[in-house]
Structure 1
Amino acid sequence: MATSLRLLPALLAVALVGCSAAALPDLKPPVPSAWRNAQASSVAAPAADLHDWWHAFHDPQLNALVDRALQGNLDLAQAAERVRAARLLNRHSHDDYLPKLNADTNDVINPDTTASYFIVGFDALWELPLFGVWQNSGRIAKGNLDAADADLHGARVSLVAEVARRWIELRSAQRQAQLLDDACQARREKLRLLKVREQLKLVSPDDVAAATADVARAEAALTGPQQAINANAQQLAVLLGQNEPDPQWLQPGGVQPELGHWQLTSVPADLLRTQPQI
């Protein structure tokens, strides 16, 4: 009996150790403090702010399109609501392991008698968070919150990147169409002059036929940029929740967005972490 009493503290200590939560492994891999292949100019430069990176184009129309997309996108709104829900669940993740007190009343009336009964009852419940349940429930709730935050960030990054890409490709296609149209006008003028020279017997009909073929090829080349303009404008309208593109987007003479002197100085690993698909 004395031996059993001496072993009792040791058994209790072992039981308490078994009820504790296991330590989580360190999931952050060791990385060097600096990128060894970076240029001297990029090391001294401050890190680029990628939160509002599209402002580096200095394009008011692009800024307005991104703002409209962020305000009206339903997928982004759903991701934001999931973050709010996960934040509330994280705040109340330990509520199941707190003492609970329930009370109820019941007014029993017998229609055959003149007497009635009023019953009051209550019960208490307290589930002890053994075996690390308290800590693990908090970890799960925090993990769900971090996952919801990551989903929201990924949705925002994807939306902004797609809007900027479609707008830049739209402007690029419009610029290409303008250049091809100028080339087509030059070939038409060349054909007109060759026809005049043909009437004066200064060139052969073969030269006129070759110029006519050049005009036909130049006109056929205009269809590619025009299709790209229509496709990018329609995709941009879908991203903004519109059925049809804004006629203002299709007006020729738009300015092609340029980055100017903006430089990305982040190391490759940090740049990869900004990609929502990774």
Structure 2
Amino acid sequence: MWRIPSIASILLLAACTAVGPDYAAPETAMPAAFTAELDRGLVAGPTDLAAWWQGLGDPALDRLVAKALAANLDLRAALARIDEARARRGAAKAELGPAVATSLQASRTDTASSAAGDSHRESYSAGVDASWEVDLFGGQRRALEAAGADLAATEADFHGAQVSLAAQVAGTYLDLRTAEARLELVRRSVDTREQTLELTGWREQAGLATSLDTAQARSSLEQTRASIPPLELAAATARHRLAILAGRTPGELDELLAAGSGIPQVPDRIAVGIPADTLTDRPDLRAAERDLAAATARVGQAEAQRYPSLRLSASIGVDALDPSGLLDRDSLVSSLLGGLTAPIFQSGRIRRSIEVQQALERQAESRYRSAILTALGEVEDALAGLRRNQERLDGLSRALDAAREATSLAENRYSAGLIDLLVLLDTQRTLLSLEEQEASARGDLAGSLIQLYRALGGGWTNETGVPPTSRSASSVNEPGASDHGRT
């Protein structure tokens, strides 16, 4: 009799074992600080990334991002993928439990006999069947662990989509405001050149200018006018794109976009944090790490195929020759069955399956480490871009001040007849070119800030109704806790 409890103890001990490697996040060496020189308002202090666009001080942009995060169709698709991953995790968890089914059967068998004539036999049965595959060596638990990691990765992908969407909206809004600013400059330049053409016409009538001067003034005017349609197209395209990003049809947000306040200004102080922050703030790194956890769990799931599997089944019911007999106690039947199956020869299938999963695990680890390096590089690029674009803007601002002074002097001297028309037109062209470059530089500077916040992982939040997943996919008993939510 001692053998039964001994066998039970062995099975219980095996059921507490999960073969395969236990996941541990890879150690990553992170620099203590970014290499980019931090000055001109850049500091290494803590960052507030959840709603970074609010630091640009543009209410229209704030409303646009809020609308996009609430109604963007790509985000809704990402939410549906979370539902799919959660359902897959539920299905994996269900594999750990028993299955119970009920059955009801009636049959009639007719036979033909030359001695006794035709005869028939009826039988009726009803019962409940239960089966359970005991997870002796943790294959199903590893599958659940992998499904939990997949769910966490899918949620991180959703947060990554939030980061990307916020940056897209801000970048497209910046394109719109930059195009509008350049459009205003060109239209103002058209007014100036119309005045120049009118003045040249008067000078021609007075004999102080030639018809060539008038033709040159008109050519300059029409050339400037011709630059208006491309800018109008750029502005219209940006408006349409913003509406689509917000889940609306083109034109629905035109009233909101009409309330803008020009190209957003970069704040005087920008906190960039430290490199280690990217590991916790960037959803794509979280997703890559969870993909690695899932791949590690699937190695154990594959290794479990090497070991025996135990299946228990039981049934209880009634079996009678007529329906009234179903209620008879003597019709009661029951069975209990246990089956142990172990692989002996599989022609290398199990070993190859394990090797496949191990290769996938190595790929996932390489992708994770590569994602970290890419993230650090993107932050460094954005910091460098922010600094260089600020320097470019400073230089253009100085050049623009000089061009405005030169244009004012040229206009006065031309009116007094001290210089010819070509000198005036040249100073006007230089002024317009510098004004447009300065507007574009302001847009580029704000764009560098957007890229910096995107590289830092800013723009995601758990306020969209995505419930948190497990703190670690290896914890099967606590599937509801999460440590990556942020509000």
Question: What TM-score do you get using the length of structure 1 for normalisation?
Answer: 0.78
**Aligned equivalent of 1:209:** 215
Q: For 2:223 and 2:275, locate their aligned partners in 1 and report how far apart those are by CA, in whole Å.
A: 44
Contact 2:104/2:126 (8 A) holds in 1: yes
The Cα of 1:84 is off from its aligned counterpart by 3.1
**Aligned equivalent of 2:29:** 31
Q: For 2:186 and 2:82, locate their aligned partners in 1 and report how far apart those are by CA, in whole Å.
A: 49
The Cα of 1:228 is off from its aligned counterpart by 0.8
Q: For 1:131 and 1:141, locate their aligned partners in 2 and report how far apart those are by CA, in whole Å.
A: 18
**Aligned equivalent of 1:171:** 177
**Aligned equivalent of 1:113:** none
The Cα of 1:138 is off from its aligned counterpart by 2.0
Q: For 2:259 and 2:216, locate their aligned partners in 1 and report how far apart those are by CA, in whole Å.
A: 30
Structure 1 residues 270 and 212: CA distance shift in structure 2, 3 A: farther
Q: For 1:195 and 1:96, locate their aligned partners in 2 and report how far apart those are by CA, in whole Å.
A: 90
The Cα of 1:204 is off from its aligned counterpart by 2.6
1:118-157: CA deviation from partner (whole Å, max 9, x where unpaired): 6331222110113321331222111220221122112222
Stretch of structure 1 that moved more, 136-145 or 95-104:
95-104
Structure 1 residues 243 and 32: CA distance shift in structure 2, 3 A: closer
Q: 2:263 aligns with which of 241, 245, 256?
A: 256
Letter in 2 for 1:242: R
Contact 1:54/1:63 (8 A) holds in 2: yes
Structure 1 residues 276 and 202: CA distance shift in structure 2, 3 A: farther
Contact 2:34/2:274 (8 A) holds in 1: no
Q: 1:60 and 2:59 equivalent?
A: yes
The Cα of 1:256 is off from its aligned counterpart by 2.1
Matches within 5 A, 1:26-175: 26-32=24-30, 34-35=32-33, 37=35, 39=38, 42-43=43-44, 45=45, 47-91=46-90, 93-106=92-105, 119-175=125-181
Letter in 2 for 1:100: A
SS at match of 1:207: helix
Q: 2:200 aligns with which of 194, 199, 220?
A: 194
1:166-215: CA deviation from partner (whole Å, max 9, x where unpaired): 11110110011001111111011011011111111122333222211211
Stretch of structure 1 that moved more, 73-82 or 167-176:
73-82
SS at match of 1:244: coil
SS at match of 2:102: strand
Structure 1 residues 147 and 239: CA distance shift in structure 2, 3 A: same
Contact 2:43/2:269 (8 A) holds in 1: no
Contact 1:108/1:119 (8 A) holds in 2: no
Structure 1 residues 64 and 39: CA distance shift in structure 2, 3 A: closer
Structure 1 residues 117 and 133: CA distance shift in structure 2, 3 A: same
The Cα of 1:235 is off from its aligned counterpart by 1.5
Contact 1:56/1:262 (8 A) holds in 2: no
Q: For 1:275 and 1:216, locate their aligned partners in 2 and report how far apart those are by CA, in whole Å.
A: 51
SS at match of 2:133: coil
The Cα of 1:231 is off from its aligned counterpart by 1.3
Q: For 2:223 and 2:86, locate their aligned partners in 1 and report how far apart those are by CA, in whole Å.
A: 61
Q: For 1:132 and 1:138, locate their aligned partners in 2 and report how far apart those are by CA, in whole Å.
A: 10
Q: 1:237 and 2:237 equivalent?
A: no
Aligned length: 263
Report the structure, 1 or 2, having the larger strand content: 2
**Aligned equivalent of 1:185:** 191
SS at match of 1:185: helix
Stretch of structure 1 that moved more, 178-187 or 55-64:
55-64
Contact 1:174/1:225 (8 A) holds in 2: yes
Letter in 2 for 1:30: T
SS at match of 2:20: coil
1:27-46: CA deviation from partner (whole Å, max 9, x where unpaired): 43322462263649733x2x
Letter in 1 for 2:268: H
Q: Identity, % of aligned pairs?
A: 27
1:235-267: CA deviation from partner (whole Å, max 9, x where unpaired): 122222333324436749742222322414134
**Aligned equivalent of 1:22:** 20
SS at match of 1:23: coil
Letter in 1 for 2:103: D
Gaps of 5+ in 1: 1-8, 111-115
Q: For 1:132 and 1:253, locate their aligned partners in 2 and report how far apart those are by CA, in whole Å.
A: 59
Q: For 1:276 and 1:230, locate their aligned partners in 2 and report how far apart those are by CA, in whole Å.
A: 32
SS at match of 1:94: helix
**Aligned equivalent of 2:273:** 266
Letter in 2 for 1:260: P
Contact 2:186/2:224 (8 A) holds in 1: yes
SS at match of 1:119: strand
Q: For 1:150 and 1:74, locate their aligned partners in 2 and report how far apart those are by CA, in whole Å.
A: 17
SS at match of 1:97: coil
Contact 2:60/2:260 (8 A) holds in 1: no
The Cα of 1:117 is off from its aligned counterpart by 7.1
Runs of 4+ in 1 over 6 A off after TM superposition: 107-110
Structure 1 residues 253 and 35: CA distance shift in structure 2, 3 A: closer
